[in-house]
Structure 1
């Protein structure tokens, strides 16, 4: 059956009210998203964070009267929403298949591939990470993840112990294990991310070599390699903590950094490491180095 989709851009203060209004009007679903390209750190359990410019999107049955919905919104918000209200009619489709039409196998470096179920890679030496869409961040399509995957593929991981801090879907830890790492630790604040990481590790046959934990449960061991794909603020705040998780001489990669933030992040790690030149994709930066 077709659907009726309504969306409004608003600020972070009014977004929760608009969400409640849509729900009271019988919306089948309401989602909140970024309307201004503002990155956010994954919230801690129980914490709610919104974008400064938030897009609130509601899905209704197709037969709902648009004029009645618009009038109800005007009344509830005590404002005329006509200029800011976007209305679309969505034809019914198999959403998973539609997504797969856009998510094709992606290559990183010489032999690492991220591949959804049902698709194939013909390269004989391909190292394949099987990954489908889920709740957690990290499919390889975002520049921050892509930068880390490219760096990871270039490392000698045979027999190494690695730590993936801010694991999201687990894509980096899983890729490292498939590339030859002996053991990986995947850390995230979000329990849903840990669940996604566990499921993806099982799908890729590496769950037995993967340790999953919340930040406060992180084993205080010195690993051979560190990946931290989070954001600039937490990277700066956690610099000393993260450097304690790897041994001297260990390489590391930091991502989730905007171009204008790179100098400040690099300065936070300079006391602990010999830093390497930054790598950039779109407006995102990857920093790396070796612990001294």
Structure 2
């Protein structure tokens, strides 16, 4: 495998990346050419939404090709394009063969929710102190326990008994919250998502963890629930306020995540017609908001 390294300006990034993909690059990535210097730029977008810009003022573009000749041909063709004017070819180098599966797995270690509750990839052994474990491998659906929003929701679940509670996980992703609720005693758990792949991932993960739940598209949520969990993002949560509160039984708990600290007031206002939301947990700039009907 061979890596083509390019330097280009912010306005060139999108066209260069599209050209590389058209030239059959196996992968294309973009990074700040001034990273770890005084000229480094912060470039972050809200999770799930596009970044504010396509690249940095000086962007390093890295493209992988299966053959050296393909990398060389891509470099030659790019240099002939007007949109690459001012850009530079930094070089082409061979990438050492690696066990990519093992390398990827090494990046995911067991995640502590509480001292007794852990999320553990299948290639790790659970810690000795773990009395409740969710076995979950990183996949296409959101929710592996590594993000603060997921951990806060699971901490909320872990600090109460759900015996006798009917639970709804709205926007279930991998199903991790629904599985957590089942492990903590909920006898009836419904998990719904707009993505059929997430529904299947939830069913697969529930089976792998030996728990029973129902999973389906959003219209599978029926009736009232003692606990409604929704770890999405602030904007869709505001839109979903009437629906989520409509599924909340009298005295039931609503648990919302995917919210940045600066968004607390607007979420509280959106849900005010139905219940009072309060900040129940904080981690790395994210908050967990809860309310009781």
**CA–CA separation in structure 2 for the residues paired with 1:24 and 1:187:** 37
The offset of 1:223, in angstroms, is 0.8
What whole-Å deviation, never above 9, does each CA across 1:31-82 have from its counterpart, x for those lacking one? 799x9321254xxxxxxx7433346864312524756433423434623363
Greater radius of gyration (CA):
2
**CA–CA separation in structure 2 for the residues paired with 1:205 and 1:7:** 49
Of 235, 256, 268 in structure 1, the residue corresponding to residue 270 of structure 2 is 268
Residues 148 and 255 of structure 1 are in contact (CA less than 8 Å); yes or no, is this contact kept in structure 2?
A: yes
**What SS does the corresponding residue of 2:134 show, helix, strand or coil?**
strand
Partner of 2:34: none
Residues 117 and 133 of structure 2 are in contact (CA less than 8 Å); yes or no, is this contact kept in structure 1?
A: yes
Which deviates further from its counterpart, 61-70 or 265-274? 61-70
**CA–CA separation in structure 2 for the residues paired with 1:57 and 1:192:** 30
Partner of 2:152: 147
The offset of 1:167, in angstroms, is 1.0
How is 1:92-107 mapped onto 2 (pairs within 5 angstroms)? Answer: 92-107=97-112
Residues 10 and 53 of structure 1 are in contact (CA less than 8 Å); yes or no, is this contact kept in structure 2?
A: no
1:213 and 2:212 aligned: no
Residues 167 and 226 of structure 2 are in contact (CA less than 8 Å); yes or no, is this contact kept in structure 1?
A: yes
How is 1:90-239 mapped onto 2 (pairs within 5 angstroms)? Answer: 90-123=95-128, 126-206=131-211, 209-215=212-218, 217-239=219-241
**CA–CA separation in structure 2 for the residues paired with 1:156 and 1:98:** 38
Residues 129 and 175 of structure 1 are in contact (CA less than 8 Å); yes or no, is this contact kept in structure 2?
A: yes
CA gap of 1:67–1:190, structure 2 versus 1, over 3 A, is same
The offset of 1:99, in angstroms, is 2.3
**CA–CA separation in structure 2 for the residues paired with 1:166 and 1:7:** 39
**What SS does the corresponding residue of 2:264 show, helix, strand or coil?**
helix
**CA–CA separation in structure 1 for the residues paired with 2:8 and 2:188:** 44
How many corresponding residue pairs? Answer: 278
The offset of 1:225, in angstroms, is 0.4
Structure 2 residue ranges without an equivalent (≥5): 32-41, 56-60
Of 277, 280, 283 in structure 1, the residue corresponding to residue 279 of structure 2 is 277
The offset of 1:245, in angstroms, is 1.0
Residues 178 and 190 of structure 2 are in contact (CA less than 8 Å); yes or no, is this contact kept in structure 1?
A: yes
What whole-Å deviation, never above 9, does each CA across 1:197-249 have from its counterpart, x for those lacking one? 1221121122xx3221222x233310110111001111111111101112011
**CA–CA separation in structure 2 for the residues paired with 1:198 and 1:72:** 47
**CA–CA separation in structure 2 for the residues paired with 1:32 and 1:187:** 34
What whole-Å deviation, never above 9, does each CA across 1:94-131 have from its counterpart, x for those lacking one? 22222222211112124221001121224355111000
CA RMSD of aligned residues (A): 3.1
CA gap of 1:5–1:233, structure 2 versus 1, over 3 A, is farther
CA gap of 1:108–1:88, structure 2 versus 1, over 3 A, is farther
**CA–CA separation in structure 2 for the residues paired with 1:23 and 1:201:** 37
**CA–CA separation in structure 1 for the residues paired with 2:12 and 2:140:** 25
**What SS does the corresponding residue of 1:139 show, helix, strand or coil?**
coil
